[in-house]
Structure 1
Amino acid sequence: MTEQAILQRNMSSVNNTLNFIDHMDDEKKPFSGEAHLKQPVQPEERYSCKICDLSFPTKSDLEKHREPRVAIKPYPCEVCSASFWTKRDLEQHIRTHTGEKPFFCDVCGTSFSIKSNMRSHMKVHTREKPYSCEICNQSFSYKLHLNRHIRTHTGEKPYSCEFCDQSFTDDSNLKQHVRTHTGEKPYCCGVCGMSFSRRFILTRHMKKHTGKDPNSCEICNKTFSDKIHLKVHMLAHR
């Protein structure tokens, strides 16, 4: 190889090396300059959990996070298979097994398993009726009763029987009706053991044993549909 050819080969190798060094220097340069700063920053899309407000970069991460919350409730009942999100809900549920009713009405002594039910009951004594019908202005102590009343105006019957085509304005009437199909009789006489599908039939039956209405006032003989109203009435005789 001639001296000139060797010189050209060496120069070519040096140029390649210099080009590689320049390229590496460019790679190491920080992101700066007006051109870079002018680039719009796109907000990163996040997927938020509706239960605890944590957010995740992908939908699959969110679904993995939610799986244990949907499947496992941390407070199981030791008596039955029910489970609950909070200890408070579990404690309220356990009272359905034990029959415990720690909340008492100061007026008539009626007891309740849930404090909110006791507060709702107090409207019987105060005669408070905060729920009014916008159509006829009739007032009610409970929103449930207002909703039931409104259906007398609208004709709505959202509770349907699974055994026939009848429908009802409230679920209590549906439950009573379903018993005509199932034969269920949940109201039992404590004297003779006979059972009945409706409470008022049991009340009427009890007269055969006692000779009087079980929910009647011993002082004035006035009768009532249930023990709660009888207890309220008895206060008038004090």
Structure 2
Amino acid sequence: MSWNKYTGGMNIMIGFFFLTLRTIGLTYAVINERTWRHIGSLSGKLFEQPMFDVTARGRVHCSTLCSKEFCCWTMTFNPNTKGCRGYCRTTTVGEQIATDVGRELYQREPGSPVDYNCFASLELGLCLSLKLQTVNKYEAADRCEKENGHLVRADTVARIGAVTGLIRNYFTAVVGVVWVDGEDFSGTNNYIMTNGGSIPITHELWNPDEPNSLDVEQCIGLYMSGKLNDYSCSTKYIYFVCEY
């Protein structure tokens, strides 16, 4: 067996592993404790008049749903039922309308930063988080999965515009680059995302003469300029963006 075939097979197995995690969802991801404070005395309860009452994939997903709302200061999540509620206020025991065993209550810390940029592209419904750690593609994908998200999908001009609008707030050089979802498992420039879709190979999305079909460049980075480029999946000097 050639080395390329061996590594190609490993990439397929790893890709399948990440896709499986995405399908299952990780309920027990840890939310940002600097932003959300767990209130044990108010847990296990349901309160009246939530601003939303939905099913979430996990704690982090629930907190991002709350972050999308302008005045969501309290969120509750039940890891058993995955029920997620958000409130445009802090809650009190006197507002309790029922018990809900297992439900956890979190309140936003005063003056805390917004966890995620959920306002960059409201028409696309995107909630993005730029991670300023330099890791390889698989480490980046794993980090997003643990937060019940995935590497951002950059398969349209509109989506790329939303991502570059976010990262331009942090990068001043055109060479700023982040990992995005997609991998060429077959070495044929067919970049498959974790949702099973393919990224079109067009000049609107990619840098000139990219992707360039190099066997060692099977993952994708997005430049601050708004163009995609293929990279070796093991490259570790790249930041990444999670989508929720």
Asked if TM exceeds 0.5, the reply is: no
Shorter-chain TM-score bucket reads: under 0.3
TM-score for the superposition, normalised by structure 2: 0.20
Who wins on radius of gyration, i.e. which is larger?
1
Decide which structure has greater helix share. 1
Decide which structure has greater strand share. 2
Higher RCO (CA-CA < 8 Å; seq separation 6+): 2
